[in-house]
Amino acid sequence: MALTKECKQEMEHLLTLVERQKQYRTGVVFPSRMNNYFYDAGTGKILRLQDEEYRLLKAIFSPQATVKTVMQAFSEEAPNKVEAFLRNTAQMNLLRMPPLETLCCDYHEDICQQIDHNLAQLILEVTQRCNFRCKYCIYNSSYEGNHDFSAANMSWDTAKQAIDYLFAHSAERKNIYLTFYGGEPLLQFDLIKQATLYAQNLATQESRNLYFNLTTNLSLMTAEMARFFADIPNFSLTVSIDGLQECNSCRVYADGRPTISDAERGMHYVCHAFREAGKGLTISSVLTPPFDYDKLDRINAYFENFPELPKETSIVITYPSDGTYDCEAYTKRVYNNPRYWDLGSYDPLAKWQLTQAIRHSLSWDSTNNLYFRALVDSMMRIKNRFASEKPALRTSRIEACCVPGVRKVYVHTDGGLSICERIGTSPSIGTIAEGVDKDKTIHTYIDDYLAQTKPLCENCWAFNICPMCYAACFDKGGVNIKKKSFACQNCRTHTYLMLGTFCTLMEERPDALEVLDRSVLL
């Protein structure tokens, strides 16, 4: 094959990548519903492919790729098409992901200063008790990733000390956040009320903007409680409910009784109070088997038609966390059913959400459905990805990981500190009495994490658009690289799917993405 000098050099570059098996870190070929695309990891470019470009890139990125198979694929294409392909990859700086020389996090150089003065959010575990025993809960004793429920409650002294810590360690922030968590927090409503009023008074004295949040299963909610939360400025609620009874069967009391009637009663109280106050809600739902589209339609209709549901309601629906609920048997039965595949991936929920967005678009006038929040969050990540004419990676940040002890501090009932509510039995970062142990925190969650993560990140095409955080990577001993590797694979699969979703919406329903112009990552 006669090539120009420029194209020969480009061909040598591509064959060297294949020979060293380094091509997989430089990008990924993915489909939309209408076309094939290439995401270039080094520049962040997303390019729609002509047929011959697709065939050549598929040969380069094939799991069985060798220099011989790639040369064979190039020899089967028209010489002028090969020339154009090689010229384009060179001129557009494609397949040139530079080596990752340094991995860091935000505030890496002054993290101690940030821990002392820039804390954003404090989360109070006001109780470890819960009146539910949801079958997919991360607190179940059968789940190895977290601790079981207990009878422990937070005392007022601990809560007060924690709130004082928040104000003392957030001097550089005008906006701060206080969250109540459990267990079921409403078992400690009196403490929550006392803590809210105390914190509110401090915020007024210091002219700070204080935002509250509470996550509840709704069963203990009363009209009085709902009105209290609705009347407090900047107090938001996250409520957990999975929909109508047939979809809510995993949410049971400790004695096995269904919870839906009590949860719906609490939901009505909250909807009435928050709608009157002009405030929205966040609904957290878990999709358990069967993952069929009829079930999703019924859950969606349940929320869209729920009486008095505030207009600005946002719904988050996810699969059960890995290891909490056995979905494997059901998944095996339907995995080979093409009905549940889309964009090269098996993900019934994601396929349903994309189909609904194409059918109904995404609108700020209709957010109380199962697809708006998920798609807006994911599409914003793709839209706001790193993009440049020239590849850049040599020194890079772990984008999705918060800075430990700065973004959040989770206070356990006994005053022990963790970096967030999702990270389970991972190593403590201190106590509320003594504050964050900076040396331990930096060693465990920055130095050790970055050192063990770097080999995975430097060989990953999804690095610059990665949503991975600490929560999937730690156990009580620290970084668990096996967990991290498993989570990375799931993350790449999801990112691959979201790239295809983004391009499909651009092709079939571009007006759906107009909401991104007035949105932020949630």
What amino acid occupies position 255? D
Q: Show the domain range for 369.
A: 100-522
**41 belongs to a structural domain:** no
User: Could you give the residue ranges of the DSSP H alpha helices within 250-395?
Assistant: 260-277, 293-304, 328-334, 348-360, 372-383
Within a 10 A sphere around the Cβ of 397, how many other Cβ atoms? 13
Which stretches of the chain score pLDDT less than 70? Answer: 1, 108, 139-148, 393-396, 399-400, 519-522
Is 227 found in the same domain as 84?
Answer: no
Q: Show the tokens assigned to 160.
A: 């007060």
**125 belongs to a structural domain:** yes
Question: Are 95 and 217 in contact, with CB atoms under 8 Å apart?
Answer: no
pLDDT of residue 142: 46
**34 belongs to a structural domain:** no
> What sign results for the dihedral spanned by CA atoms 35, 41, 44, 45?
negative
Task: Give the rounded distance of the alpha carbon of 481 from its chain centre.
Answer: 19
The tally of domains found in the chain comes to 2
Cα-based angle 353, 355, 360 (whole degrees, multiple of 5) = 95
**207 belongs to a structural domain:** yes
Is 431 found in the same domain as 393?
Answer: yes
Single residue among 97, 124, 157 that ends a domain in this structure: 97
Is 442 found in the same domain as 357?
Answer: yes
Is 195 found in the same domain as 60?
Answer: no
Question: How far apart, in whole angstroms, are the C-alpha atoms of residue 41 and residue 30?
Answer: 13
Is 411 found in the same domain as 390?
Answer: yes
Is 104 found in the same domain as 93?
Answer: no
Residues 6+ apart with CB under 8 A from 57: 29, 38, 49
Question: How far apart, in whole angstroms, are the C-alpha atoms of residue 372 and residue 361?
Answer: 9
**297 belongs to a structural domain:** yes
Question: Are 403 and 438 in contact, with CB atoms under 8 Å apart?
Answer: no
Cα-based angle 97, 99, 101 (whole degrees, multiple of 5) = 145
Is 58 found in the same domain as 159?
Answer: no
Question: How far apart, in whole angstroms, are the C-alpha atoms of residue 214 and residue 421?
Answer: 12
Is 164 found in the same domain as 66?
Answer: no
Question: How far apart, in whole angstroms, are the C-alpha atoms of residue 516 and residue 384?
Answer: 10
Question: How far apart, in whole angstroms, are the C-alpha atoms of residue 363 and residue 492?
Answer: 28
Which CATH number does the domain housing residue 376 bear? 3.20.20.70
pLDDT of residue 100: 86
Of 349, 348, 271, the closest CA to residue 311 belongs to 271
Is 175 found in the same domain as 88?
Answer: no
Is 177 found in the same domain as 263?
Answer: yes
**46 belongs to a structural domain:** no
Of 351, 372, 309, the closest CA to residue 515 belongs to 372
Single residue among 73, 97, 121 that ends a domain in this structure: 97
> What sign results for the dihedral spanned by CA atoms 316, 322, 323, 326?
positive
Of 458, 461, 486, 462, the closest CA to residue 472 belongs to 486
**462 belongs to a structural domain:** yes
Place of tokens 């006038």: 365
What's the predicted TM-score (pTM) here?
Answer: 0.93
Is 167 found in the same domain as 77?
Answer: no
Is 22 found in the same domain as 106?
Answer: no
> What sign results for the dihedral spanned by CA atoms 373, 378, 382, 386?
positive
**42 belongs to a structural domain:** no
Within a 10 A sphere around the Cβ of 233, how many other Cβ atoms? 12
